[in-house]
Chains A and B, each alone.
Chain A
Amino acid sequence: MAKVKCECGHVNPHGTILCESCGRALTEEAQKEKLHDMRYEGSARRSQTYNKTIIDKIWNFFSSVKVGIWLIVLTLIASSIGTIFPQKLFIPNNVSPETYYEETYGTAGKIYYTLGFHDLYNSIWFIGLIAAIGVSLVICSLDRVIPLYRALKNQRVARHGSFMKKQRLFALKEEKLQPEEIEKVKEKLKSKRYHIREEDGSLLAEKGRFSRWGPYVNHIGLIIFLIGAMLRSSEGMYTDEMLWIREGETLEIPGTQGEFYLKNEKFTIENYDKEKDPEVFKEALERTGGVVKNYQTDAVLYRDENRDLPGAKPKLVKVKEEKIRVNEPLKFDKFALYQDSYSKDEMKAMEFALANKETQKEAGRVKVDLFNPKDTYDLGNGYKVEIVGYYPDYDGIGSDGEPKTKSPLPNNPAFLFKMFSPEHPKGEISFTAIRQTLEPVGETDYKMEFRGIETRNISALTVRKDLTLWILGIGGAIFMIGVIQGAYWNHRRLWIRQIDGEVYVAAHTNKNWHGLKREINSVLEGTAIPVPEDQQG
C-alpha cells in the first residue's frame, strides 16, 4: 500500500490520520474535526485501514474495544448466573445433580440444571468466552500499540499550527517572547520533571510517556496468565489427588508414581477452650459453641529408594517429619500436601468377652482388628472363638437369610461367632452386631459381651502439584505493573511555538485533565505565555 507523504516531508504508513511528525491532518475527516481525537495519536491502525479479506474482518472484529467490552460484560453476566445456585462442585457428592437441583430448588433448579448452569464454569461456551477475551486482548493490543509507538517516537518538537489548534487545551496570543521568558518556563518545567526538547524556538515538554504503555503491558500479563491457566489441563502439569490416610498407616502418595510415601503418625482436631484460651474469646465461644482451633496431621515423608528396581519391595527412607496444618502444607519435590478434611473416630478394633450367661463368668477376651480379623481366637482351657462371618458395614438380613454388608469399611461391624467351651466343644453360634445379639440356631449358654472399642482418625490430604504457578505469578506481576503504570502516571505534553509573531500553546494528557491544568497554570503563571484554555464542553 502506498505510504502517505506529509507536506512536512515525513513519510507516514498508509492509513495515518495525523502526521506522525508534525501532526498535520492527513485525512479530510480529520481536517474537519473541531478537536483531534488524540487517543492513539491519529496513527495508522490496521483495523481502521484494511477491510477486504476474511483475515481483515476477523482482525477488525477482535480489535474493536466495543467487542472487547461486550465480551467482558457477557463473562460478567455469565459468572453471576453461576452463583445463583451452588455449582455441581459444591453440592453433596452422594446425590445425583439431576435430582438434587429440582428437589432443592424446585422448577427454577430444574431449569438451572437443564440449561447446564450447574457446571457453568466448565462449559464450552464459558471457556469459549474467556478464550475470545484472550484473542481480543492480543489483537486489540497489537492493533494499537505498534502505530502508537511509531507516532510517539516520530513526533517532532514543532507541531503544525492546525494540530495545536485542535488540541483540547489551547491558547494563542500575539506576543514576542523574550529568551529569558522561555528559560524561566523551562526551569519550572524541569523542576516538575518534564523532559524538554527544543527546535528553532519551539518547545516540547513531555513526561510520563511510559504510562501510555501501561494498558499493553497489563494485557501482556493477562495473556500470560491465561496461557498459564490453559497449560494446567496439559499432561503432567497439574495433579489433584486425595489421600485418605488413617493414623498409623503408611501409604504411597498418589500422583508421585510410587516415589513418595507418607505415614500418618497422628491426626488431631483441637477446639478453642473457654478456660485456657484468651479470655476475650469467651463470649464468642459461648454464643457459637465449639470453634475449631487446629486440624493437624503429624506426618512422616518417605522416599522409596528401590523405585527404579522392578519387582523390588519398597525401601522407605525417611525424608522429613512435619506437621501438616491448614495454611501450612507439607512441601516436597514439586508437590504440596494440604490438610483438607478428616473423618473422626473410625472404628479400628472391638473387644468382646466370652461369658457364661448364667454365671456371668468371663472365660477370656477377644480383640478383633476390624481391618484384619483373625479366623480363630484361642482363649485356652478349651475356650475358643471362631469368626464364621464378618460384616463390616452391616445392613440387615438379606432375602436369602444372609446378613448383608454395605461396604468393606467398618462403619457398623457385625459378626457371626462360633463360641467353643468345655460344655460345648462343637460350638454355639451367636450373631453379634452393635446393640443387637441374635441366636439364629437356638439359644446359647455363652455370649459375646461387648467390652470396648478402639477408634482412630482418618486424615484427608490433598496432593497437589501445579507446575503452572510460576507462569501465573509472572503473568499476575506483569499485569499489576502494567495497571499501576497506566493508572498512577499520566502522559503529559506541553507545546509552545512561535508562528508569525504569535505564541501558540497547546497541551495534551491521556487522563486527569484537572491535574494537567493545575500544573500548567503554576508553570505559566506570571509569564507572557498564555495559559491554554479548555476548548471542550
Chain B
Amino acid sequence: MSDLVQWSGNLLYASFIMYLIATFFFGGAIRPKKNGQKQEENRWGKIGITVAVIGFIAQLGYFFTRWAASGHAPVSNLFEFITFFSMMLVGAFIIIYFMYRLPVLGVFALPVALVIIAYASMFPRDISPLIPALQSQWLHIHVTTVAAGEGILAISFIAGLIYLVKTIDQSKRSKQTIWLELIMYSLVAVVGFVAVTTTFTLSGYEAKFEYVNKDGKAAEETFHIPAIVGPNEGKLVTEDKFEPIVDMPAFINAKKLNTTLWSLAAGALLYGLIRLLTRKRMGALVQPLVKNVNTDLMDEVSYRAILIGFPVFTLGGLIFAMIWAQIAWTRFWGWDPKEVWALITWLFYAAFLHLRLSKGWHGEKSAWLAVVGFVIIMFNLIAVNLVIAGLHSYA
C-alpha cells in the first residue's frame, strides 16, 4: 500500500520535472529562425510536446496510483483537487496544441501549471478518508468534469495573456501595462507563497496562540509562519516567538490572512528584485517571447478554448453539481458560496460569449475578459475554500 503512495508521489514529481523541461524546449521552439521567417512547428516544438505528453502521462500515473491506494479518486481535498486541476490544464493545453501547433502556448501554459502544482503541494498531502457527504460516485463525475472545464477555460486565459503581452505597448506606462504587471505580480506572489511556506516548514517554526474565536469561546491555533497579524485577543503561548503587530477581529481567520500577507510581501520582494535587476516591466521582459505570435490566431484560440470549456464547465459545475447536491444535501441548489461562485463563473462566461457574438468584442477586450474569467475561477478554487467557509470547505 505505502509503496503505491510512494510511487504516486514520485510520478507527480516526475511530471513536474517534465513540464519544466518541456517549457525550455518550447522556449527553444519560438526562437526566430535566421532567415526571419515565421515558423511552423519545428524540432524543438516536437520535442517539447513529446516531453509534455510524457509528463502528462506521469501525472495520470500519479492520479491513478493514488486512486488505487486510497480507493477513491484523489480529488477530495485541496492538494488533490488543485493538482488535478493542473493536470486538466496541461491536458487541455495538449489538445489545443494539436489543434493549432503553437509552441508559444506551452511557454506560458506549462509554467502556470508548474506554479499551480507547487502551490498545491503546500497543502496537507496525506490521503484522507472520505466523509459521508463525499462517499458517492458523483464525487468522481462532478469534480473531474469541473476541473476539466476549468482547465480548458484556463487555456483561454493563457492565450489571452499572450495576446496582451504581445499587443500592449511597453514603451510607455499605461493602464494596460499596470494591469498586466498586476497579473505578473500575482503569479510571482504564488511563488512567494511557496517560498515562504517551504522555508518556515523546513525551519520547523511553531507559535501557539490562545484566542477567542468567532463564537466567543476560547480556542487555540498554531502558526507555522511568524505572525504579523494575530488572532482575536490572542495570547502567544510559545516562548521566544514573534509577537503579532496587530490582532484581528474574530470573524477574520488570522492564520490564513497572515499567510496571505507573507506571500504578498515575498511576492513583492521577488517582483521588486526582478524589476531592479532587469530594469524592465515584467510584461516587457517576456514580450520578446511572443514576438512572432499571430495575434488574430491567439484571439481565436482564446475564444475557442472558452467555446470548448464552457459546456464542459456547465455540465460539471452546474448540472452534475445540482444532481449530486440533490442526492447528498437534499436540494439541488442552496446558495452555498461555492455554488454561488460556480454560478458567477458561468454567468461571466455567458456574458463573455454574448459580448463576443453580439457586440463584437474581439482582440484586446476579449483577452482581458479571458483573464478576468481565470481570476474568478481561481477565486472560487482558492478563496472560497479558504476564506468563505461553506459546505465545500473540506481541506
Mark the stretch among A250-258, A290-298, A423-431 that contacts chain B.
A290-298
Among the 9-residue stretches A62-70, A198-206, A386-394, the one with 4 or more Cβ atoms under 8 Å from chain B is A62-70
Report the number of A-B residue pairs with Cβ-Cβ less than 8 Å. Answer: 144
A residues near B331, Cβ cutoff 8 Å: 240, 464
| B310 & A483 in contact (Cβ 8 Å cutoff) | yes
Q: A472-B332, A511-B303 are in contact. Are A480 and B127 (CB under 8 A)?
A: no
List of A residues within 8 angstroms of B354 by Cβ: 65, 68-69, 72
User: Cβ of B135 and Cβ of A326 under 8 Å apart?
Assistant: yes
Interface residues of A in 482-515 (CB under 8 A from B): 483-484, 487-488, 511-514
Q: Which residue in B71, B310, B340 is a CB contact (below 8 Å) of A82?
A: B340
Chain A residue at minimal CB-CB distance from B332? A472
Q: How far, in whole Å, are A283 and B350 apart by their CA atoms in the complex?
A: 43
The answer to whether residues A284 and B127 also contact, given A82-B340, A83-B388 and a CB cut-off of 8 A, is yes
Q: Given A79-B347, A480-B319, check contact A487 B1 (CB 8 Å).
A: no
Determine if A440 is an interface residue (Cβ-Cβ < 8 Å). Answer: no
Tell me whether B2 and A83 are in contact (CB under 8 A). no
A106 vs B214: C-alpha distance in the bound complex, in angstroms? 12
B136 partner residues in chain A, CB cutoff 8 A:
327
Given A65-B354, A327-B132, A462-B330: A104 and B127 interface contact (C-beta under 8 Å): no
Contact B296 A291 (CB under 8 A): no
Instruction: Collect the chain B residues with CB atoms within 8 Å of residue A484's CB.
Output: 311
Give the distance to chain B from A127, nearest Cβ to Cβ, in Å.
13
Does chain A have a CB within 8 A of B314? yes
Q: CA A165 – CA B72 in complex, angstroms? A: 59
> Which residues of B sit under 8 angstroms from A281, Cβ to Cβ?
70, 127-129
With A65-B358, A327-B136 known as contacts, the answer to whether A280 contacts B308 (CB < 8 A) is no
Decide if B351 touches A72 in the complex (CB within 8 Å).
yes
**B135, A327: Cβ atoms closer than 8 Å:** yes
CB distance from A493 to the nearest CB of B (A): 18
The answer to whether A280 and B69 have CB atoms under 8 Å apart is: yes
Interface of chain B residues 295 through 347 with chain A (CB within 8 A): 296-297, 300, 303-304, 307-308, 310-311, 314-315, 319, 322, 326-332, 334-335, 337, 340-341, 343-344, 347
Report whether B129 and A284 are in contact in the complex, using a CB–CB cutoff of 8 Å. yes
Q: Which residues of B contact A512 (CB under 8 A)?
A: 300, 304, 307
Contact between A292 and B132 (Cβ–Cβ < 8 Å)? yes
Residues of B within 8 A of A185 (CB): none
- Alpha-carbon gap, A469 to B322, bound state (A): 11
CB distance from A298 to the nearest CB of B (A): 15
Contacts of A293 in B (CB 8 A): 129, 132
Note all chain A residues with C-beta closer than 8 A to B322: 472, 476
* Residue B265, interface by CB 8 Å: no
Contacts of A401 on B, CB cut-off 8 Å?
none
Contact of A121 among B335, B348, B359 (CB under 8 A): B335
Closest chain B residue to A479 by CB distance? B314
Partner of A104, one of B71, B124, B251: B251
A150 within 8 A of B: no
Partner of B250, one of A68, A104, A283, A284: A104
CA distance A293 to B388 in the complex (A): 25
Q: Is the CB of B70 within 8 A of A280?
A: yes
Interface string of A333-372 (1 = CB under 8 A from B): 0001011100000000000000000000000000000000
Shortest B307–chain A CB gap in Å is 4
Q: Across the interface, which residues of B come within 8 angstroms of A82, CB to CB?
A: 335, 340
Residues from chain B with a CB closer than 8 A to the CB of A87 are 335
Is residue A73 contacting chain B, with contact meaning CB distance below 8 A? yes
A210 at the interface (CB under 8 A from B): no
With A79-B344, A104-B214, A483-B311 as contacts: A283 and B126 at CB distance below 8 Å: yes
Whether B350 pairs with A487 at a CB distance below 8 angstroms is no
B288 at interface, CB cutoff 8 A: no
Q: Is B272 on the interface with A (CB-CB < 8 A)?
A: no
Q: How far is the CB of A251 from chain B (nearest CB, A)?
A: 18
- Nearest chain B CB to A474 CB, angstrom units: 12
Contact with A along B256-292 (1 / 0, CB 8 A): 0000000000000000000000000000000000000
Question: A280–B127 contact, CB under 8 A?
Answer: yes
CB-based contact B300/A514 at 8 Å? yes
B150 to chain A, nearest CB (A): 16
CA distance A184 to B248 in the complex (A): 76
B5 within 8 A of A: yes
Asked if residues B300 and A513 are in contact (CB atoms below 8 Å), the reply is: yes
Bound-state Cα–Cα, A472 to B323, Å: 10
A377 interface residue (CB < 8 Å to B): no
* Least Cβ–Cβ distance between A62 and chain B, in angstroms: 14
Decide if B126 touches A514 in the complex (CB within 8 Å): no
Give the CA-CA distance A277 to B128 in the complex, in Å.
11
Cα separation A327 to B215 with both chains bound (whole Å): 30
A39, A285, A326 pick with most chain B CB within 10 angstroms: A326
A-B contact pairs, 29 of them (CB 8 A): A65-B359, A66-B359, A75-B347, A76-B348, A79-B344, A82-B340, A83-B388, A272-B129, A280-B69, A281-B129, A284-B128, A288-B128, A291-B129, A291-B131, A326-B133, A327-B132, A327-B136, A327-B328, A336-B330, A462-B330, A464-B330, A464-B331, A469-B326, A472-B332, A479-B314, A483-B314, A484-B311, A511-B357, A512-B300
B residues near A (Cβ < 8 Å) are: 1-2, 5, 69-71, 100, 124, 126-129, 131-133, 135-136, 214-215, 249-251, 296-297, 300, 303-304, 307-308, 310-311, 314-315, 319, 322, 326-332, 334-335, 337, 340-341, 343-344, 347-348, 350-351, 354-355, 357-359, 384, 388, 390
Excluding A39-B357, A280-B2, 4 further A-B contacts by CB distance (< 8 Å) are A69-B355, A92-B215, A484-B311, A514-B296
Q: Which 10 A-B pairs have the closest CB atoms?
A: A326-B132, A65-B358, A284-B128, A283-B126, A284-B126, A338-B330, A76-B347, A83-B337, A327-B136, A462-B330
